[in-house]
């Protein structure tokens, strides 16, 4: 039941997109180290002092920031997410939050007010993205494992149902006794086949119920919240439709079974509806826009410093 948007954004396939935005944090340091030449102007001296102070803060945190980038690289290039990588990503968010707080504490002259706001917005955005990446690293392996469990259960259900051979209605000839015996045998075989089908659906429903309970305890990052919500809705509908189908199969009169079977099939596919996929894709696109904006903000800071160098004399 894995959805298209989740596959598109899975931790194993989209790491480079994530790192694209997070690597923008390095541009803060790269931009800040561009110093301005000394000048007699008090405005220029204040501006140079501010930039050097920000650079000094980042310099003192260089070791921690290096670990941040190492965590991103480990996350983007590994096929599995280790406990160490998850721990490093959690620490990365803390590191960037501390960095933003320390930069915010540096008094900025009026000429650097816009630069200060841009740097704080960039580092704050990086911290927020890092939080989302951490949640993704914690969420995706568990979510993928649960989806795989559902896939296995669905395959088992299909194989089991394929082995059940309900008797085929046919014309009976013979004495009244022979006809009655044949009819009784047909009814018994039909009831046994229906009961076996009901047991198979119930067994599948049991897996669905357990998976849904596990999914309820997951905390999805914002970008994958629609995928989790769609899967949860699908599992709830599947469980209810399966229970109705199994109950009908165990009854003597089973005229509604074909209708309930169709409803069961539709329920298992409900997470793949157009509306659900559109919501998931919209969330992924919104995340991509945030990443691109962060990269653009990082690229703008060196240009801003160059403009300050030219305008403040």
Mean pLDDT of 175-197: 89
- Alpha-carbon distance 261 to 264, whole Å? 5
Q: How far apart are the first and last CA of the chain?
A: 63
Report, as an integer, the average pLDDT of 44-64: 83
Whether the Cβ atoms of residue 99 and residue 123 lie closer than 8 Å to each other: yes
Work out the average pLDDT over 215-219: 92
User: Cα(4)–Cα(15) distance, rounded to whole angstroms?
Assistant: 17
- If pLDDT is split at 50, 70 and 90, which confidence band does 305 have? confident
Whether the CB-CB separation of 284 and 265 falls below 8 Å is answered with no
pLDDT, position 282: 75
Q: How confident is the model at residue 40 (pLDDT cuts 50, 70, 90)?
A: low
Q: What pLDDT band is residue 274 in, cutting at 50, 70 and 90?
A: low
Task: State the helix-helix crossing angle for 62-77 and 15-22, rounded to 10 degrees.
Answer: 160
Whole-number Å distance between alpha carbons of 42 and 110: 12
- Which of helix, strand or coil describes residue 167? coil
Check if the beta carbon of residue 88 is closer than 8 Å to that of residue 67.
Answer: yes
CA 260, 155, 234: angle at the middle one, nearest 5?
Answer: 50
| pLDDT more than 90, % of the chain | 29
Q: Where are the domains of the chain?
A: 7-138+289-311, 141-280
188 pLDDT more than 60: yes
Distances (CA, A) of 301 to 30, 58, 107, 239, 245: 9, 15, 18, 53, 62
Of 291, 300, 287, residue with least CA distance to 117: 300
Q: What is the mean pLDDT of residues 121-141?
A: 84
Average pLDDT over residues 30-51: 68
Band of residue 79 on the pLDDT scale cut at 50, 70, 90: low
b/e sequence 159-169, b meaning 16+ C-beta within 10 Å? ebeeeeeeeee
Please give the full DSSP string across 41-68, using - where no structure is assigned. -HHHHHHHHHHHHHHHHHHHTHHHHHHH
Percentages of the chain per state (helix, strand, coil), in multiples of 5 = 80, 0, 20
Q: CA–CA separation, 67 vs 60, rounded Å?
A: 13
64-68, 100-104, 116-120, 185-189 — which is least confidently predicted? Answer: 64-68
Q: Are 36 and 306 within 8 A, CB to CB?
A: no
**Element at 211 (helix H, strand E):** helix 176-216
Pick 308 or 237 by higher pLDDT.
237
pLDDT band at 275 (very low <50, low <70, confident <90, very high): low
In the chain, the largest separation of any two C-alpha atoms, in whole Å, equals 121
- 223-261 tens-digit pLDDT: 788 888 888 988 999 999 999 999 999 998 898 999 999
The continuous run of DSSP H or E covering 28 comes out as helix 24-32
Q: How many CA atoms lie within 13 A of 300 on its CB side?
A: 14
pTM (two decimals): 0.69
pLDDT band at 271 (very low <50, low <70, confident <90, very high): low
CA distances from 224 to 3, 106, 129, 279 (A): 10, 37, 13, 10
Q: Which two tokens stand for residue 227?
A: 């995928």
Decide if 223 contacts 132 (C-beta within 8 A). Answer: yes
Q: What is the pLDDT of residue 273?
A: 56
Q: 141 near 81, Cβ under 8 Å? A: yes
- The band of 19, judged by pLDDT with boundaries at 50, 70 and 90, is very low
Contact 298, 28 (CB under 8 A): yes
């Amino acid at each position: 039941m894995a959805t298209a948007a989740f596959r598109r954004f899975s931790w194993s396939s989209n790491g480079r997109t994530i790192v694209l935005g997070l690597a923008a944090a390095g541009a803060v340091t790269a931009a800040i180290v561009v110093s301005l030449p000394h000048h007699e102007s008090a405005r220029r001296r204040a501006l140079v002092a501010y930039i050097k102070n920000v650079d000094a803060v980042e310099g003192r945190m260089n070791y921690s920031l290096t670990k941040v980038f190492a965590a991103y690289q480990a996350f983007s290039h590994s096929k599995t997410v280790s406990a160490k990588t998850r721990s490093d990503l959690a620490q990365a968010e803390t590191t960037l939050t501390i960095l933003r707080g320390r930069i915010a504490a540096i008094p900025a002259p009026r000429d650097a007010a816009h630069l200060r706001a841009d740097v704080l917005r960039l580092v704050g955005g990086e911290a927020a993205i890092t939080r989302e990446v951490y949640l993704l690293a914690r969420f995706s392996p568990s979510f993928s494992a649960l989806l795989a469990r559902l896939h296995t259960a669905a395959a088992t259900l299909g194989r089991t149902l394929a082995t059940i051979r309900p008797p085929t209605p046919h014309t009976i000839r013979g004495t009244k006794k022979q006809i009655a015996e044949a009819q009784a045998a047909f009814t018994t075989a039909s009831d046994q086949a229906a009961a076996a089908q009901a047991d198979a659906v119930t067994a599948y429903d049991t897996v669905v119920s357990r998976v849904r309970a596990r999914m309820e305890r997951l905390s999805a990052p914002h970008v994958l919240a629609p995928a989790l919500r769609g899967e949860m809705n699908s599992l709830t509908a599947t469980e209810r439709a399966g229970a109705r189908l199994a109950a009908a199969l165990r009854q003597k009169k089973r005229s509604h079974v074909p209708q309930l079977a169709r409803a069961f099939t539709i329920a298992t596919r409900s997470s793949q509806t157009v509306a659900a996929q559109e919501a998931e894709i919209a969330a992924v696109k919104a995340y991509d826009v945030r990443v691109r904006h962060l990269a653009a903000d990082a690229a703008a800071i060196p240009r801003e410093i160059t403009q300050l160098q030219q305008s403040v004399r």
